[in-house]
């Protein structure tokens, strides 16, 4: 239903889609994310529940940024994915949804992705000078060697080369 609307009004916006266990998923191009969000907002998907990301280390593009949306009227759910590489920016949804503020900060904190247009992108769960991004697949499970100097600033030891 919603897919036909998107395809009719924004042809070629959907790069890929699947429907596993009833979870409708579409993959859209990062550049067209805001158009798609605006369209489905008028179609009733007015609640952004969650933003997260998945790191596929060996894939190109490396990351999936995942948005979960809910239509409060007919209770449909939609998952939107944007594929990005390390260093590429994703358009921020803070201008559309207020709750995107922390969710995007968390993805930035955990995966090191940038959100274009976010007013205050910062470390949210980890501390300010934490080296590396914990939910990346190449971040070691034990946290690596993270030290503090005399001023209380953190830096990564030799065992990690995770800056970025």
Partner 1 sequence: MNPTNSTTIQREGDHMIVNLGPSHPSTHGTLRIVMELEGEFVVKATPEIGYLHRGVEKLGENLSYHQFIPLTDRLNYCSSIMNNVGYTLAVEKLLGIQDPPRSQVIRVLVSELARIGDHIVCVGINAVDIGAFTAFLYLFKERETIYDLFEMAAGQRLHTSFTRIGGLMRDLPENFLPLLDQFLESMPRTIDEMEKLLTHNPIWYDRTKGVGKITPEDAIAWGYTGPCLRGAGVPQDLRKAQPYLGYDTYDFDIPIGTTGDVYDRYLVRTEEMRQSLRIVEQCVQKLKELGPGPVIVDDYKIALPPKEKVYTRMESLIHHFKLVMHGMDTPVGEVYSATEAANGELGYYIVSDGGKSPYRIHVRPPCYPIFNSFDEQVKGTLIADAIAVLGAMNIIAGELDR
Site for partner 1, rule CB under 8 A: 20-21, 23, 25, 46-50, 52, 54-55, 66, 68, 72, 75, 77, 79, 97-99, 101-103, 110, 124-127, 134-135, 139, 141, 152
Minimum Å gap between C-beta 94 and partner 1 is 11
Minimum Å gap between C-beta 11 and partner 1 is 26
Residue 70: strand, helix, or coil: strand
Are 157 and 147 within 8 A, CB to CB?
yes
Cα of first residue to Cα of last residue in the chain, in angstroms, is 41
Q: 71 or 91: whose CB is closer to partner 1?
A: 71
Rounded distance between C-alpha atoms, residue 87 and residue 76, angstroms:
33
Q: 9 or 127: whose CB is closer to partner 1?
A: 127
Q: 127 or 163: whose CB is closer to partner 1?
A: 127
Are 115 and 104 within 8 A, CB to CB?
yes
């Amino acid at each position: 239903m919603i897919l036909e609307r998107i395809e009719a009004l924004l042809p070629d916006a959907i790069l890929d889609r699947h429907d596993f266990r009833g979870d409708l998923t579409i993959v859209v191009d990062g550049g067209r994310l805001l158009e798609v969000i605006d369209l489905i907002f008028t179609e009733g998907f007015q609640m952004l529940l969650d933003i997260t990301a998945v790191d596929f280390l060996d894939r190109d593009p490396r990351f999936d940024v995942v948005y979960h949306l809910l239509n409060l009227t007919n209770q449909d759910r939609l998952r939107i994915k944007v594929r990005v590489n390390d260093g590429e920016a994703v358009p921020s949804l803070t201008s559309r949804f207020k709750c995107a503020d922390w969710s995007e900060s968390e993805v930035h904190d955990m995966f090191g992705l940038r959100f274009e247009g976010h007013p205050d992108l910062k470390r949210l769960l980890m501390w300010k000078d934490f080296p590396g991004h914990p939910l990346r697949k190449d971040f070691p499970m034990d946290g690596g060697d993270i030290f503090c100097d005399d001023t209380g600033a953190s830096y990564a030891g030799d065992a990690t080369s995770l800056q970025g």
